[in-house]
Amino acid sequence: MQINSVAELDVADGIATLTLDSAPVNALSAAVRDGLDQGFRAAIADETVQGIVLICAGRTFIAGADISEFDKAPTGAPLHDVLALIEGSPKPVVAAIHGTALGGGLETALVCDYRVATPSAKLGLPEVALGLLPGAGGTQRLPRVVGAEAALEMMAIGKPVRAKDALAMGLVDAITSEDALHADAVAFLKTKLDAPRTRIRDRTDKIAGQDPALFDAFRAKHARAFKGFRAPENIIKAVEAAVTLPFDQGMKREAELFWELFRSRESAAQRYFFFAERQTAKVPDLAADLPEIPVKRVGVIGAGTMGGGIAMNFLNVGLPVTIVEQAQDALDRGVATIRRNYQGSVDKGRMSAEQFEQRMALLTPSLDFEVLGEVDLIIEAVFEKLSLKQEIFARLDKVAKADAILATNTSFLDVDAIAAATGRPESVVGMHFFSPANVMKLLEVVRGAETDPQVVAAAMAIGRRIGKVAVLSRVCDGFIANRMMAPRMAAAQALILEGPLPWEVDRVMLDYGFPMGPFAMLDLVGLDVIGWDAATSSSSSVVEVLCEMGRWGQKKGGGYYDYDDKRRAAPSPIAEQLIRDFAAKTGVTQRAFSDEEIVARLLYPVVNEGARILEEGVAIRASDVDVALVYGYGWPVFTGGPLFWADGVGLAKIADALEEMGHAPSPLLRALAEQGKPLHQYRSAAPAARVIEVA
């Protein structure tokens, strides 16, 4: 019997099966909620039905709420009413789970009497990633099933559990066969038709006598990871309510905590970012029916830190990689580093020894440039010198297959100038990985003036294939992320002459939410590798003098900070005195700065550069810029990224402050401020062919 457009009810041998079919992930839309409501009412009213199986068609069980409905007027059956109907069913109900049961999907399963799952299924309550908590009873029911500690891990961390772990926790009652979920669920339910029933809401065995010290211990354990986020604390409070209050009072407390989060700027930022990340794959001028360029084997030129990390991305997804170097010792070091990285994963239990060897077996080290003629995608990852890269691409032009994709990993050089070294610039694309390349999630795909749309589409698809978030950029100095963050570094280096010391600036950036401050980052990277040249050094800046003194950062035991033998940082009296002396020498008056002033000095110029990037058509949309900064530089996601954050600060305030600092506000920034329009919703009108030389 068809219930509605997404729900169907069938009855056989006393068992009703309600099947939801709402592609792609059976999200709890108004239609799905109505289907659940009407379907369960029909099954309950049918006197021939003794039990009910809830199952989903397609690739997954209910994978959560329909997030697109969050900011719209409610329609359809209210979820809480639907769940109360299922929980109050006079007939036993089993949820048959495959794919994922996430968020509202797991909350729906928790109001059923039983849950069975396929071996590959995953279950979780990941609302924390949206700055929310499970708001349909999850914070009250889950602890009653798995205990408070496990519930906190699932909800405040947001990591789903596999079916076998869910079985061990008591979250599911049985594991079915992978290809007979429905039959196994029916068989399981028939064994329970006469069994006594206890609703999860009425259970207390897993929460009775809970030591209240658990909650403060959990807060302390995760204090660093939770810093800046509101949702984890509200989840902890909700679970505290679950173990201390009667169920109905706990539900009331959950609702209060949910709406507190929903109205917060942090949750708005995280929900915005959720959609922003998914928008990056949409490139307006790429036809959906573009023929795919198959990539079955990859070549990497350069076995250094970056080249090895790039290679690991492809090995991880089962793609054979040929890595090419000029010298045997460099090749051996590169392969050894890859092996050491994988061994570390084995030692931490993240990978089996068998998986380790399988990945290494896919790697072919070579000193022969000619072998690159056998691969479909070649990524150059050598030193950032234009003439060197042009030389390599000229050689590739003679060696590579006619349909091979030729990619450069340059972080700021002119992709078009590199492409011009070949007779096929349409095959050349930038694929800028961030270091460490096997860890960082951002991949900037740089579209040259002549890059073929098929090549652009292929590079974007390859990024997704290896688990990266691919953001499309046009050619300019530094592309999106590096270009945007350059003003922060310049501002930081100027600011320390005016009063704040490096560790004070770093503390403010840490308090803002960055994983590392600019001066700690410089010391980590090495002051000598950010453009210093001993041959031309003239003591014209603090960083030059530090380098001349041999204070290159962590590797030398000192830079802006002093370091002990375990590379633990401490404020450096040497650097402090140098900065004071340099300020006096250059006539800079020093004063105290508030944290708010430091944030403005360092981050308002970043926003301004982002607006220029949009003006010039370097990025497609403002949300792409935010994604690039979050995944490329660790910009705190609870701010939504620099452009979303800027709208919260106020564009007029930022533009006025920039003028006071001596920076010319971007015309786009000033125009949007005057029009009262948000920056984070801006979309570039017409992508530029190329943008070179950013002032």
Q: Which residues are catalytic?
A: 107, 127
Beta pairing, strands 363-366 & 561-563 = unpaired
Using CA of residue 201, residue 206, residue 211, residue 212, what is the dihedral sign?
Answer: negative
Pick from 225, 175, 317: nearest CA to 637: 225
DSSP letter for each residue of 579-647: HHHHHHHHTPPP----HHHHHHHHHHHHHHHHHHHHHTTSBSBHHHHHHHHHHHH---GGGTSHHHHHH
Q: 10 Å Cβ neighbour count for 414?
A: 22
> Under DSSP, is residue 559 helix (H, G, I), strand (E, B) or coil?
coil
Phi, psi of 380 (to 5 degrees): -85, 130
* Two structure tokens written together for 341: 């990285």
CA atoms within 13 A on the CB side of 351: 18
DSSP letter for each residue of 170-200: TS-SEE--TT-HHHHHHHHHHTTTTS----G
| Separation of alpha carbons 293 and 405, rounded Å | 9
* Two structure tokens written together for 10: 């069938």
Please identify which residue in the block is written with the tokens 């969050």.
70
CA 177, 163, 151: angle at the middle one, nearest 5?
155
**DSSP code for 157:** I
Calculate helix-pair angle for 518-525, 481-495, nearest 10 degrees. Answer: 110
Q: Are 469 and 626 in contact (CB under 8 A)?
A: no
Q: 10 Å Cβ neighbour count for 2?
A: 9
| Separation of alpha carbons 582 and 578, rounded Å | 6
Residues 6+ positions from 527 with CB-CB distance below 8 Å = 543, 546, 547, 551, 552, 553, 559
| Separation of alpha carbons 373 and 403, rounded Å | 11
